[in-house]
Amino acid sequence: MKKLFLLLLALALVLPLAACNKEPVDPDPGSDPEDDKIELALVTDLGTIDDKSFNQGAWEGLKKYATEKNITHKYYKPAEKTTTAYLDAIDLAVEGGAKLIVCPGYLFEPAVYEAQDTHPDIKFILLDGSPNDGVWDPVPTARIEKNVYSVFYAEEQAGFLAGYAAVKDGYTKLGFMGGMAVPAVVRFGYGYVQGAEYAAKELGIAKIEVMYHYTGGFDATPEAKAMAAGWYEAGTEVIFACGGAVGNSVMAAAEEADKVVIGVDVDQSGESDTVITSSMKQLSISVYDGIKAYYDGKFPGGEIVVLDVTVDGVGLPMSSSKFKTFSQADYDAIYQDLVDGKISITKDTDKTDASDITLDLTKVTFVE
């Protein structure tokens, strides 16, 4: 794991800087009272507030609670993707009156580590991360204070369900296109190939093929679309698009090739007719519940939790899925097996390409 986190830190440091967008991307950026004072805030991570993925899922949970309770709310987009910029955005939110700030993403860990001390009276919900100083000597110093609620998700279970469903639905040539190889994305991919393997063994399928790649970012790019198109042309039937707006590139390629896509983080069925299902984290629900706990006087500060199948923290949106044969009964059965602990899923390794996962029937081809 140490090697993986070192790689992730290096990737984060060399990310290209993005110009500050002062105009909101979302047509509804939140409340804007005359005195500019807001109670609830979200600071965006990589991607945008309408990315149909991680940022949007978190924002929808915040906005839902705020709208129901008539609470002022707003999001802030950092000037660049650095800890300093994240801290600047947090400071702006605090100056604007925020009492609780949602920080969606692993890259917020060092910023929240500092902000929890700088702003002890402000509550933070940190998604997919726990506060640490980001200094590898030899590993970061980690500490969580009572004003921080740290939420992780069992992405390996969500990915497992997607891979299992795809193979049970008749697909044998799969693809996984991740964004940055951050821990959450890696766990999605590892679960995906293990789910495919599990289904193949149940069905007696001799071989499953999986193309595997990380784009290095979370943006829609011509390069990602071209790679997805190449995979489809070579026979890949379904691609798990696990990287924010990377999914838009994959969906565009799928539309042209008449192939299908698995979405990520939130239900992406409305993005394209090619999306047959989505490997979901219940982002909006967990943010909503965390904010509700704060206003109910029960904020779980100082806690680090992993939301998994036992609390419906991850899953597939079966009501909007477009499977050919995979049924609700099939889904309920495999989901219950996960809840009961009958299935073991590997999630922690020193590599990111799935090469150290034991697979008997599944061949993973990693593309640099």
% pLDDT > 70, the chain: 89
How confident is residue 29, by pLDDT bands cut at 50, 70 and 90? low
| Amino acid found at 70 | N
How confident is residue 13, by pLDDT bands cut at 50, 70 and 90? very low
- The pair of structure tokens assigned to 89 is 């955005």
Cβ atoms of 246 and 218 closer than 8 Å: yes
Q: DSSP code of 108?
A: G
What is the rounded distance in angstroms from the CA atom of residue 227 to the CA atom of residue 250?
Answer: 9
Dump pLDDT digits (tens) for 247-291: 999 999 999 999 999 999 999 999 999 999 999 999 999 999 999
> What is the structure's pLDDT at 126?
98
How confident is residue 137, by pLDDT bands cut at 50, 70 and 90? confident
Angle, CA 26 vertex, CA 281 and CA 224 arms, to 5°: 60
Q: What is the secondary structure of 12-73 as a DSSP string? A: HHTPPP-----S-SSS--B---TT---SEEEE--SS-TTSSSHHHHHHHHHHHHHHHHT--E
Mutual angle of helices 155-168 and 328-339, in 10-degree steps: 140
Backbone conformation region of residue 111, classed left if phi is above 0, alpha if psi is from -120 to 50, else beta: alpha
Q: What are phi and psi of 272, to 5 degrees?
A: -165, 145
**How far is the CA of 355 from the CAs of 194, 362, 363, in angstroms?**
12, 11, 10
> What is the structure's pLDDT at 354?
93
As to burial, measured by CB atoms within 10 angstroms (0-12 exposed, 13-18 middle, 19+ buried), residue 145 is middle
Preceding amide of 78 cis, omega within 30: no
* Mean pLDDT, residues 8-26: 35
What is the rounded distance in angstroms from the CA atom of residue 196 to the CA atom of residue 209?
Answer: 9
Dump pLDDT digits (tens) for 331-361: 999 999 999 999 999 998 778 999 999 999 9
Lowest mean pLDDT among 34-43, 93-102, 214-223, 346-355: 34-43
pLDDT at 19 over 60: no
Domains identified in the chain and CATH numbers: 2-154+284-309 (3.40.50.2300), 155-280+314-366 (3.40.50.2300)
Dump pLDDT digits (tens) for 166-184: 999 999 999 999 999 988 8
Interior/surface letters 4-18, b for 16+ CB within 10 angstroms, e for the rest? bbeebeebbeeeeee
What is the rounded distance in angstroms from the CA atom of residue 66 to the CA atom of residue 101?
Answer: 13
What is the rounded distance in angstroms from the CA atom of residue 354 to the CA atom of residue 368?
Answer: 13
Cβ atoms of 85 and 108 closer than 8 Å: no
Q: Which residues contact 146 (CB under 8 A, 6 or more apart)?
A: 301, 302
Residue predicted with more confidence, 14 or 210: 210
Dump pLDDT digits (tens) for 322-334: 999 999 999 999 9
Q: Whole-prediction pTM value?
A: 0.85
The average confidence (pLDDT) of the chain is: 90
3-state class (DSSP) for residue 269: coil
Cβ atoms of 364 and 355 closer than 8 Å: yes
What is the rounded distance in angstroms from the CA atom of residue 200 to the CA atom of residue 362?
Answer: 8
Dump pLDDT digits (tens) for 183-202: 889 999 999 999 999 999 99
> What is the structure's pLDDT at 183?
87
How confident is residue 91, by pLDDT bands cut at 50, 70 and 90? very high
| Cα Dmax for the chain | 65
- The pair of structure tokens assigned to 231 is 């995979």
Helices within the chain (DSSP H only) = 2-13, 54-69, 83-95, 109-118, 155-168, 183-203, 222-233, 246-257, 283-295, 328-339
